[in-house]
Structure 1
Amino acid sequence: MKKVSTSHSRRATRLLALGTSLAFAVGLTATAAVAAPPTPPPSNNYPGSVPPWAGSRAKTGIPLSNTTVEGEIYLNLPDAGAAKAFATAVSTPGNPQYQQYLSPPDWIAKYGPAKTDVAALVDYLKGQGMVVTSVPASGLYVVFRGTVAQINAAFSTTEQTYAFQGQSLIGPSTAPSLPANLAAKVQAISIDQGRLLTRPSLATAGSSDQAQTSGKPVGPAPVDAPCSNYWEQNKVTVPAAYGATSFGTAICGYIPAQLQGAYGVTSPSTAGAGQTVAIIDAYASPSIESDANTYSQKNGLPAFKTGQYQQIVPDSRLFMDQALCGQPSGWQGEQTLDVEAVHGLAAAANILYVGGNNCGAGIDVAMSTILDQKLSTIVSNSYGYVGEAVSPNALMGMQNIHLQAAGEGVGLYFSSGDNGDEKASLGYASPDFPASSPFVTAVGGTSLAVGKNNDYLFETGWGTTRNRIVANPDGSLGYAGDLPGVFRFGAGGGTSAVFDQPDYQKGTVPAALANGYRVSPDVASLADPYTGYQVGISPITNDHSLNTGSYETTGYGGTSLACPLTAAQMAIAQSATDKTVGFANPAIYAAAKTAASGARDVMPQINPQAMVFSSPVSGNSYLVGTDKDTSLSTSPGYDDVTGVGSMTVPFATSIAGQ
């Protein structure tokens, strides 16, 4: 594995900034002299490049012609079937090619698009006055920016504005097209802003709570429920529910020693030695290394050694699309959680953070930065789209990046999402992408109970319901509605509408659930913010200057937590076995069939588990139920909330040892 020095990190940051600046300069000087291109014939249209939300009912208007939109074109693999077969072979225990990975240059030479095809596409885009901002060494895609007028002319379409997910997005009203000499080489054209809705799968116990009066608590809560440091440290009396009148309170936020005990980390000081976990998010926290070291000092972890934490990030002046992407402050908590979760379990592992200049194509560029140099064999990705609501061709284009990772022996771990089956957002059930890709490991979520002695007690599927505790007119206490209450949030998952069922799931995933398609997640880990993880952060107070406030601690959850915890455990396993797992799913499903694998099958509890939570935001108190995740449900064996079960270090080691 090639290691990145601190000087290399700084140099990469400068080069990225310089390259992007030069690209913009070249594009701007060329714009005025460009004539409209000829209209390509209909046979070169890409109907699968129109996002599913770009329909007439959602249409709200026409954007200004000089509005700039980011685009990305994915090229076809010359032999996609061979690339998939190779990725499967090198990832499947028992196959003669198992773990016989290719180096990045060899994979690119054997399976990547021809350089002449990439160059022709770049020339075409520049010839239409658009700015080419990134072309990875793999040649899998080309990122560019152009005005609405330039995009309409170059792709013979009409960009319109649409209402989706509470945002006004630009997207094509008709299938984009390319000239015949380029069309045969291109798989997908992404010229919509839907990908800028990529968000971290991050959840906090008090997020979105609203006080009943003037934004302030209405008075003392009927029940005072101070948070607990371990399961049922504090118990309170509430109205009868689930056959009980006393429940423990929500967890303040587990600390590293508690999760080390719960997940079987036996040598904390050396856990993950010799491994690098890469983390991808949008933008970059200006205080991350300082925050992580302060956090480590307060929680008995070793501070980062020189060079143990490194990052490759764009200059903050080149951050793009901040409003649609949720601002750098909206991603800071994610990066902080990812780094401190990995370091909390695998304290000796190196961490490489690679930040995108936005939450769209910048994420792909960050991934290619890692893959084209194989800077790590484990990549944690705690973000996703709303279901699979991205143009179908683009889904397949992004899957080519996953194929490259598998062929090189790089394991990609993606959070499965925090909104259950997404039906409330989309009107239909859908797993989140990229977690639904057959060539990544999707990480679902659990609610975790850790005892007083850092011992594992139990887990349930992460599916949180809440019911407010209220005072009745006669002074007694009751609930604001029927139990279990309203769905709050829970692990994403379900059956893909796009990707066929991979062989590794056959015989494990119930046929009635799969119906011939990929089902996610594959594994799970702690995600419930009511049993969440404590982090330390100096919050960004100004998204323009990136000034930060004072260091503080808070609790986070979401499958954004489950994903780096799983990646950290795989780093510990690779360190212990001196093996590179790469794309882990075939090995995960094979290991899960063995009783001694160490996987924890997460099943419904005989007696429903619940907690009491007092919100510091609204002043309300709630009974918080578990294991009610929209249409998704836990069951013995595989299920669409936790996959084959909860990840543990022994399970990860059995996966790596095959």
Structure 2
Amino acid sequence: MSPSKQRFHAVPGSLREAPAGSRRIRSAAATAPAEITIVLHRRSNASLRDGQTALARMDRAAFAASRGADRRDVARLEEFAHTHGLSITSIDLPARSVGLAGTVGQMNQAFQVDLGEYKYQDTTYRGREGEIYVPAGLAPVVQAVLGLDDRRQARPHFRMAQANGVMPDTLEISYPPQQVARRYGFPTDADGSGQTVALIELGGGYHIHDLKRYFTNQKLRTPRITAISVDGARNSPGGKDDGKVALDIEMVGAIAQGATMAVYFAPNTTRGFYNAIAAALHDQLRRPTVISISWGNPENSWTVQAMDSYDALFADAAALGVTVFCAAGDNGATAGLPSGLHVDFPASSPHVVACGGTKLTASDETVWNELAVGHGATGGGVSRHFALPAYQQNAQVPLNPLNKPGRGVPDVAGDADPLTGYEVRVDGQDAVAAGTSAVAPLWAALTAIANQKLGKPIGAPHSTLYDLANSNGAFRDIVTGGIDGYDARQGWDACTGLGTPDGMKIIQAFATA
């Protein structure tokens, strides 16, 4: 360590290597602007883990007072910012985050990094290699420094059945979302009224006239939808991610007609993604009880500090009674990488419900695997980073690729094959779409209905869901098919988790849990 770093400590888990295929082309301009988010540790050492919490469920105000950032830690960070000429752009005590702005040169000096411009395929981004350093006095306070690297962090997990507006010859059937909900036994005597479902979007957008046309064609009313801007991003239709946004909104809106949707648009960076989740979780105005996330990337594309800081947010959700669903990915057990078995994050967080995919025909349901014909496959496998959670102790999760116990992905499943996909409307065109991006909002809609019927949020549902695996028929166990490295089997498996739902039986189980 150089003498200038003797007074500094590396932020644990901040080590970053340049992604394969990218190269540094020059140093980043020292005068260029840069904005980052510092994530602080909780003020209490009480742990929240394994998809549940020993704490009594608390409201957002009580949470901020007991589990948010300590104001004294924020004051220390403010002093650090002043010393290095950085401006404070935001302070969010519940989310334990502080925004800082300055120049690249100031960030280099403050965090002992060497930011550069990197080239990856046809994109250029600001990046770094090595570790991030903070003064010794701040080391116990800082959990993560997000945003020094501004590369595109996540991929949308959705698949359009057609290419260039042409349906494939292999398309078997398509469904309105509410038809699949009926197939899965969702209640018809509740519609999610009084609930807010948060949708996290890192690109794309929607046209309200498309949504009105879609719901009118489905003989449904148009639900209430609010777009929220995070870090300057906004509802911006006209790009390749519009199908992902439309699929999320139309899935929830068709199944949970009475629920309000809050769509949080953020930049597709590690910082933007974190801030969007935090904005939804700690939104005092809309107070979502469910969060649906259909973006992610293989674990090895994330720093450890990023995964741990996101996981801490998801643990906070458990304390607040908020249920988080994440798509498990659409590229099979390799997560689209050229070699090895990998799972997708944030689906691999033990505090979210990871959603895998099936192929749903008129008479059968099997593991979704259409890789051979270019139409994707469900993600699944065992985490290399997160340990086996308590709720999976009896699920016979295999060892991870490092031959160690790990968190198994997914937990649950639903129809995700674009060849048996969902009717949607995107940018003025009717289409068919799917992917595990459809399964997360499917389960989010069921949860909104459950929260309404139960009169309270179900919160972190993992223990109850796993207790149901061998009980009241709440899951249809998928035992046919597989993905590279894993086959479907009786009980939990790394293709479709516990299986697909019988919605009414799942809600009945939560009523008596």
Q: Shift of the alpha carbon at 1:169?
A: 4.0
User: 2:91 maps to what in 1?
Assistant: 135
Are 2:436 and 1:559 aligned?
Answer: yes
The whole-number CA distance in structure 1 between the counterparts of 2:147 and 2:379 is 27
Q: Shift of the alpha carbon at 1:252?
A: 5.4
CA contact (8 A) 2:195 2:448 kept: yes
The whole-number CA distance in structure 2 between the counterparts of 1:85 and 1:466 is 38
User: 2:275 maps to what in 1?
Assistant: 365
Alpha-carbon RMSD across the aligned residues, in angstroms, is 3.1
Return the match for 2:348 from 403, 424, 436.
436
Q: Deviations over 1:140-198 (max 9, x none)?
A: 22233443322211111212345557754433223221112212211222344366221
Q: Shift of the alpha carbon at 1:86?
A: 10
Q: Deviations over 1:320-364 (max 9, x none)?
A: 9x9xxx997233222211111011111222222222255442332
**Cα separation, partners in 2 of 1:328 and 1:64, compared to 1, 3 Å:** farther
SS of 2:251's equivalent? helix
Aligned residue identity for 1:311: A
The whole-number CA distance in structure 2 between the counterparts of 1:128 and 1:390 is 27
For the pair shown, the structure with the greater C-alpha radius of gyration is 1
**Cα separation, partners in 2 of 1:286 and 1:342, compared to 1, 3 Å:** closer
**Cα separation, partners in 2 of 1:194 and 1:592, compared to 1, 3 Å:** farther
Q: Deviations over 1:196-238 (max 9, x none)?
A: 22122111124599xxxxxxx9xxxxxxx976xxxxxxxxxxx
User: 1:212 maps to what in 2?
Assistant: none
Q: Deviations over 1:545-582 (max 9, x none)?
A: xxxxxx22111111111110011111222222323210
Correspondences of 1:127-526 after superposition (within 5 Å): 127-162=83-118, 167-193=123-149, 196-207=152-163, 249-251=170-172, 253-267=174-188, 270-282=190-202, 285=205, 287=207, 289-304=208-223, 308-313=224-229, 318-319=232-233, 329-373=239-283, 375-422=287-334, 424-425=336-337, 427-449=339-361, 451=362, 457-466=363-372, 488-512=375-399, 515-526=404-415
The whole-number CA distance in structure 2 between the counterparts of 1:651 and 1:165 is 49
The whole-number CA distance in structure 2 between the counterparts of 1:414 and 1:136 is 24
- Listed as ranges, the gaps of 5+ residues in structure 2 are none
Q: Shift of the alpha carbon at 1:438?
A: 0.8
SS of 1:490's equivalent? coil
**Cα separation, partners in 2 of 1:140 and 1:601, compared to 1, 3 Å:** same
CA contact (8 A) 1:69 1:193 kept: no
User: 2:61 maps to what in 1?
Assistant: 105
CA contact (8 A) 2:230 2:276 kept: no
The whole-number CA distance in structure 2 between the counterparts of 1:429 and 1:42 is 40
The whole-number CA distance in structure 2 between the counterparts of 1:569 and 1:520 is 20
CA contact (8 A) 1:118 1:139 kept: no
Q: Shift of the alpha carbon at 1:103?
A: 1.4
The whole-number CA distance in structure 2 between the counterparts of 1:502 and 1:85 is 8
Return the match for 1:83 from 32, 44, 47.
47
The whole-number CA distance in structure 1 between the counterparts of 2:70 and 2:99 is 17
User: 2:491 maps to what in 1?
Assistant: 637
The whole-number CA distance in structure 2 between the counterparts of 1:192 and 1:579 is 40
SS of 2:52's equivalent? helix
CA contact (8 A) 2:50 2:389 kept: no
Q: Shift of the alpha carbon at 1:42?
A: 6.1
User: 1:230 maps to what in 2?
Assistant: none
Are 2:469 and 1:592 aligned?
Answer: yes
Return the match for 1:536 from 425, 443, 451.
425
The whole-number CA distance in structure 2 between the counterparts of 1:589 and 1:361 is 33
Are 2:36 and 1:115 aligned?
Answer: no
Q: Shift of the alpha carbon at 1:255?
A: 1.2
CA contact (8 A) 1:136 1:365 kept: no
**Cα separation, partners in 2 of 1:139 and 1:41, compared to 1, 3 Å:** farther
Aligned residue identity for 1:313: S
Aligned residue identity for 2:161: A
Q: Shift of the alpha carbon at 1:266?
A: 4.4
CA contact (8 A) 2:18 2:129 kept: no
**Cα separation, partners in 2 of 1:265 and 1:87, compared to 1, 3 Å:** closer
Aligned residue identity for 2:464: A
SS of 1:446's equivalent? strand
The whole-number CA distance in structure 2 between the counterparts of 1:386 and 1:344 is 31
The whole-number CA distance in structure 2 between the counterparts of 1:415 and 1:165 is 26
**Cα separation, partners in 2 of 1:518 and 1:194, compared to 1, 3 Å:** farther
SS of 1:135's equivalent? strand
Aligned residue identity for 1:600: R
CA contact (8 A) 2:357 2:378 kept: yes
State the number of aligned residues.
Answer: 506
**Cα separation, partners in 2 of 1:425 and 1:506, compared to 1, 3 Å:** same
The whole-number CA distance in structure 2 between the counterparts of 1:178 and 1:251 is 56
CA contact (8 A) 1:202 1:558 kept: yes
CA contact (8 A) 1:319 1:358 kept: no
The whole-number CA distance in structure 1 between the counterparts of 2:381 and 2:488 is 12
Q: Which has the higher helix share?
A: 1
SS of 1:385's equivalent? strand
CA contact (8 A) 2:230 2:272 kept: no
User: 1:473 maps to what in 2?
Assistant: none
58-67 or 584-593: which moved more? Answer: 58-67
Aligned residue identity for 1:340: E
Aligned residue identity for 2:347: A
The whole-number CA distance in structure 2 between the counterparts of 1:499 and 1:58 is 30
The whole-number CA distance in structure 1 between the counterparts of 2:399 and 2:69 is 38
CA contact (8 A) 2:333 2:380 kept: yes
CA contact (8 A) 1:340 1:535 kept: yes
The whole-number CA distance in structure 2 between the counterparts of 1:86 and 1:561 is 25
> Which TM-score applies when normalising by structure 1?
0.70
Aligned residue identity for 2:507: T
User: 1:46 maps to what in 2?
Assistant: 11
SS of 1:330's equivalent? coil
Q: Deviations over 1:505-533 (max 9, x none)?
A: 00113344684211111101111111111
CA contact (8 A) 2:202 2:265 kept: yes
Q: Shift of the alpha carbon at 1:445?
A: 0.9
**Cα separation, partners in 2 of 1:464 and 1:208, compared to 1, 3 Å:** farther
CA contact (8 A) 1:70 1:193 kept: no
